[in-house]
């Protein structure tokens, strides 16, 4: 199991990025959560099999068609959420 904490920057709010992230994570069988940050970034914790997490991290650079990602910062996380991938309220 691999868990990562991710911050995504660019034009990622108001473009459906959180819903896209939730759908992509669910399609891959990953657990975790995603939320907007007051700073304009999107934050997520993603957990699952290492190769599948890595695949999701690569997909975060693309996002939905109206997004424009400028950075994806990744750090390992001790938190390994289980269950369905969720969209959380803005922090």
Per the document, the length of the chain is 91
pLDDT given for residue 79 in this prediction: 81
pLDDT given for residue 81 in this prediction: 84
Q: Which two tokens stand for residue 13?
A: 């709010």
Residue-level pLDDT, tens digit, the chain, 91 residues: 999 999 999 999 999 999 999 999 999 999 999 999 999 999 999 999 999 999 999 999 999 999 999 999 999 998 878 889 999 999 9
- Alpha-carbon span 77 to 33, nearest angstrom: 13
In sequence order, which residues have a C-beta less than 8 Å from that of residue 51 and are 6 or more positions away?
none
pTM: 0.94
Q: Which DSSP helix (H) or strand (E) runs through 18?
A: helix 17-28
Known catalytic residues are: 18, 36
pLDDT given for residue 80 in this prediction: 77
């Amino acid at each position: 199991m691999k868990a990562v904490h991710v911050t995504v920057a660019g034009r990622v709010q108001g473009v459906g990025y959180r819903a896209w992230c939730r759908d992509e994570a669910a399609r891959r069988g990953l657990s975790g959560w995603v939320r907007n940050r007051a700073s304009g970034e999107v934050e997520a914790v993603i957990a699952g099999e290492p190769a599948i997490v890595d695949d999701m991290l690569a997909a975060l650079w693309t996002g939905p068609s109206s997004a424009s990602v400028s950075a994806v910062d990744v750090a390992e996380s001790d938190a390994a959420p289980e269950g369905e991938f969720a969209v959380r309220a803005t922090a």
